[in-house]
Amino acid sequence: MDRKTKSAAAAVEDSAAAVQKLLTVSNAPPGEARSLERAIGSQIRQLRRRLNLSVADLANAAQISTGMMSKIETGQISASLASLQSIAAALSAPMTALFAAFEDQRDCSYVKADQGVVIERRGSKVGHIYQLLGHALGGDIAVEPYLITLEKEAAPYTAFQHAGREFIYMLTGLVDYRHGDTVYRLAPGDSLLFDSSAMHGPEALLELPMTYLSIIIYQRDRP
């Protein structure tokens, strides 16, 4: 191989390496692509058949169209958290039952704008609204992404405390946020990553209403 050919080959290798670096971005190892939608659909179908329900019966009970229910069962669409919650309730099963047999599958949770499930977190106060934006369906690590809104009647609360790590990204408003012995002023665009086993929470609500993204990551308890 002459020098010119070697140079061209090296350029191709460098280009391929650069592309691979862009594809991976982080140091996390690549994983095998799998269809979570098909896995969830198969589990729903199994649970439905155990109850001797037709697709139409389950659709009516979950207040979902028969066509959509059929597509969910065949993995043609990615169901929202609200839809999966309704289906689980109609099956008289916990939501986790829809994923229990497929914990080795890659997670994928799709939530359209303004369709996050509104929940009450332990210790939450009046005026603190939590929308769950996704759900880690399996594995040893749990991930809970929330869109948190503090309305005008919200009060400061710095006694949140739980296992794991939490990441906060401010979207609107202004707050003095306490973590342990330190207070951080957070404005739109600011972020905070911390050990959530220390007491934390908004100490001074300077501009309301405010919204911020909160992502909580922790190790699941295994029996």
Query: Do 174 and 197 form a contact (C-beta atoms < 8 A)?
Result: no
**pTM score:** 0.54
Secondary structure element (H or E) that encloses residue 149, with its range: strand 141-150
**Across 15-32, average pLDDT:** 47
**Which 8-state DSSP code applies to residue 153?**
T
The model's pLDDT over 178-210, given as tens digits with 9 standing for 90+, comes to: 999 999 999 999 999 999 999 999 999 999 999
- The band of 10, judged by pLDDT with boundaries at 50, 70 and 90, is very low
36 or 208: which leads in pLDDT: 208
pLDDT confidence of residue 138:
60
The model's pLDDT over 59-118, given as tens digits with 9 standing for 90+, comes to: 999 999 999 999 999 888 888 888 999 999 999 988 888 876 555 445 577 778 777 777
Nearest to 93 by CA among 101, 129, 173, 74: 101
Q: Chain-centre distance of CA 32, in angstroms? A: 20
Can you spell out the DSSP letters for 65-119? Answer: -HHHHHHHHTTSS---HHHHHHHHHHTTS-GGGGTGGGTTSPP-----TT-SEEE
Domains in the chain (CATH in brackets) are 1-110 (1.10.260.40), 117-219 (2.60.120.10)
Phi, psi (5° rounding) for residue 73?
-65, -30
